[in-house]
Chains A and B, each alone.
Chain A
Amino acid sequence: MTRFHGKPRHRELLHGRVHLWLEERKRGDGPSLLLLHGLGESGADWNDEVKTWPGAVYALDFMGHGRSGRLAGGAYTVELLAGDADVALAQIGPAAVAGRGLGAYAALLLAGGRPDEIPAALLLPGPGLAGGGAVPDFDADPTLVLDDPEPPASDGIRSEVCVDRRALRWFDQDIRPVDYAHEFAAAATRLLLVEDGSAAPPWWKTIRSSPTVNLLGGASMAEGLLALQLALG
């Protein structure tokens, strides 16, 4: 299901039964760019630097974030978020991807799962980059999720930007061993890692040595986007 709205242009997408909000930030004749935000953020949080991109730019709100619907059950996984992004990719066609924080991990999975549709992905530090870590923390208490107030039932697009508190809680505990990330990095076509000096989680350190990875030490967002353009040839 796709519906076009008036300006600014939006598309409503359906992933399973969750409605997703995809905003077209700009148009252009060059290659398309899909933006994947960090944990607790939304597509509205990308700054205007993305407008320097020569082609069309799309900003997705992951499920449980922004104006997209929430996930009934509350147990969000990064694979489901990458599935959100894949639904967007199916709509807009092959695209470069830029992901921040948790969105960087989703971008990694998508780049490894769709190497023919993603020529390159830019991974940026940001909220949720570490996820729940590489090993379980059995001092944490997932039962707290059951205690969170259940958000009102809402399948559809939200009228205002918000975040499902259960998503924040769950992604703090959702673990992925580092070798998982390594396999996706090896399967991707090209990955650009922006390193700003902040502490990198184990999965990030593991994929640094992958032959598909280029490191961009100290690069700004604008410099990262420029490198992404160059990577597309």
Chain B
Amino acid sequence: MPIAAPQYPGAVAPERTRFVHADGAELHVHEWGDPEAVPVVCCHGMFDHGRGFDCLAPLLSDRFRIIALDARGHGDSSWSHAYNWPIDLMDIGYVLRDLGRPAHLIGHSKGGGQVTDAATIFRDAVRQIVNIDGFGPPDDAGFGPPQMTSGATTVPERFTIFLDRRRRTARDRRWRVYPDLDDLVERRRAQNPRLSKPWLRYFAYHGARQVENGWIWKVDPLIATGFGPFKPQWIGPNWKHLRAPMLAMIGSEPDTWGPIPEPTRLKRLSHVPQVEHAVIQDAGHFSHMEQPQAVADVVLAFLER
């Protein structure tokens, strides 16, 4: 039986939704605020979706037009042939082109790294960027959340895993069906114990689809094949080409997926020509979900300067 959409204190549903055409995908975007205001494009992390900004967006939308993107294969955006990092960067380019005027970029985790890299490419279309704990994995780690690591240490070993996943996924590309929405909540809470059950219920509801015998994630299981190996040491040097000032934000508390060791983060950020730092108290990896008001205060001060 269909259930009513959960409510969450401070979370505000988008005022408008629409699709932006990209090469081979229709990208679903959520919007808040005056369409004539300066645009702010928000990009979520791996396996998340644009409704993760439902708490932050309404705190910024008095001043800005907020556009939260469901990345290709996530949320209600269409699924794709394949996924990799530069395809997502080009999709950000399509959204910027659709807006037709320079925009600020906010990105969390994977989205934080991608808005930063996108700003090195679409330099005339980006005003300022806010990177929320999207500074890549530690130098000695491969790409992927902890439960997906394998003990592989060299790049070729990680590439073997990348290939193995692709062979496996070619045989079976379906998510399991969870009997109840709360089962999805528990699954996600096991990965992100700092996030409250009420918030995860709200978040999972919009990131999942009710089917005949339960619930499945909306995200394309093909994404679990990963983007391919790279060397974390490559992160940073290209950022010297950024023209846009960056606000580099982390939470004060250790969390499952971050922050990375401070010397590594600061070394990568040392390449950014204009960078300011912010630490959100009593927040982990998901600052914008855990402490949206504190994040909004810092972001507004940065963007309105």
Contacts and interface: CB of A to CB of B under 8 A. Distances in A.
B contact face: mostly helix, strand, loop, or mixed: helix
Contact of B82 (A71, A142, A187): A71
Interface residues of A, number: 43
A175 to B, nearest CB: 9
Nearest to A17: B81
Contacts of A146: 90, 93-94, 97
B84 A113 contact: no
Interface in B47-98: 72, 79-84, 86-87, 89-91, 93-94, 97
Interface in B153-199: 154-157, 159-160, 162-163, 166-167, 169-170
A74 B89 CA distance: 11
B163 A150 contact: no
Interface stretch (B22-30, B107-115, B200-208, B286-294): B22-30
Contacts of A15: 82, 166, 170
B234 to A, nearest CB: 6
B102 interface: no
Contact of B23 (A72, A86, A179): A72
A38 interface: no
Contacts of A183: 154-156
B159 A142 contact: no
A115 B229 CA distance: 17
A183 B163 CA distance: 17
Most-contacted residue by chain A among B86, B120, B157, B228 (CB, 10 A)? B86
B87 A113 contact: no
A201 interface: no
Interface string A176-206: 0101100110110000000000000000000
Interface centre among B90, B157, B169, B234 (most CB of A within 10 A): B90
Contacts of B249: none
A79 B228 contact: yes
A108 to B, nearest CB: 10
B94 A86 contact: no
Interface in A35-78: 63, 69, 71-75, 77
Contacts of B25: 72-73
B234 A113 contact: no
25 contacts: A15-B82, A17-B81, A17-B82, A71-B24, A71-B81, A72-B24, A73-B22, A73-B72, A73-B91, A75-B89, A79-B84, A87-B170, A113-B163, A136-B241, A143-B93, A146-B93, A146-B94, A146-B97, A153-B24, A166-B23, A179-B231, A180-B155, A183-B156, A187-B154, A187-B157
Interface of B: 22-25, 72, 79-84, 86-87, 89-91, 93-94, 97, 120-122, 154-157, 159-160, 162-163, 166-167, 169-170, 222, 225, 228-229, 231, 234, 238, 241
Given A16-B81, A142-B93, A187-B154, 13 more contacts: A17-B81, A17-B82, A63-B81, A72-B81, A83-B163, A83-B166, A86-B163, A86-B166, A86-B167, A87-B166, A87-B167, A112-B159, A187-B157
